[in-house]
């Protein structure tokens, strides 16, 4: 059995694109999708729901904005990593990545 990596809370904030990740999404029962897992940079775990779109909308999961684009996930581990800009509203390490909707 593999050990769960520890959250790297002392890692400094950085606008860090992590590229595509293979984290599976689950459904929330209302047509939305849920990301739940660790950040690939700081290893902090969190869960984030991406709500379903309102019919005819261009925002939200399943919107009429064309093909199903990957979802952009931002680290929301809950830690104020050192060096985090005051203008950043998300509390995390600054990592962001893409997850396919499939």
In SS3 terms, 24-90 reads as: CCEECCCCCEEEEEECCCCCCEEEEEECECCCCCCCCECCCCCCCCCEEEECCCCCCCCCCCCCCCC
Residue percentage of the chain with pLDDT more than 70: 78
Checking if the pLDDT of 63 tops 50, the result is no
pLDDT tens per residue across span 16-26: 999 999 888 88
Residue percentage of the chain with pLDDT more than 90: 46
């Amino acid at each position: 059995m593999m050990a769960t990596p520890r959250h790297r809370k002392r890692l400094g904030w950085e606008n860090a694109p992590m590229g595509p990740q293979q984290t599976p999404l689950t459904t929330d029962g209302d047509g939305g999708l849920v990301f739940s897992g660790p950040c690939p940079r700081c290893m902090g775990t969190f869960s984030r729901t991406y709500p379903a779109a309102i019919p005819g909308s261009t925002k939200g999961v399943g919107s009429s904005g064309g093909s199903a684009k990957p979802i952009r996930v931002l680290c929301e581990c809950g830690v104020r990593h050192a060096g985090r800009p005051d203008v950043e509203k998300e509390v995390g390490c600054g990592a962001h990545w893409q997850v396919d909707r499939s």
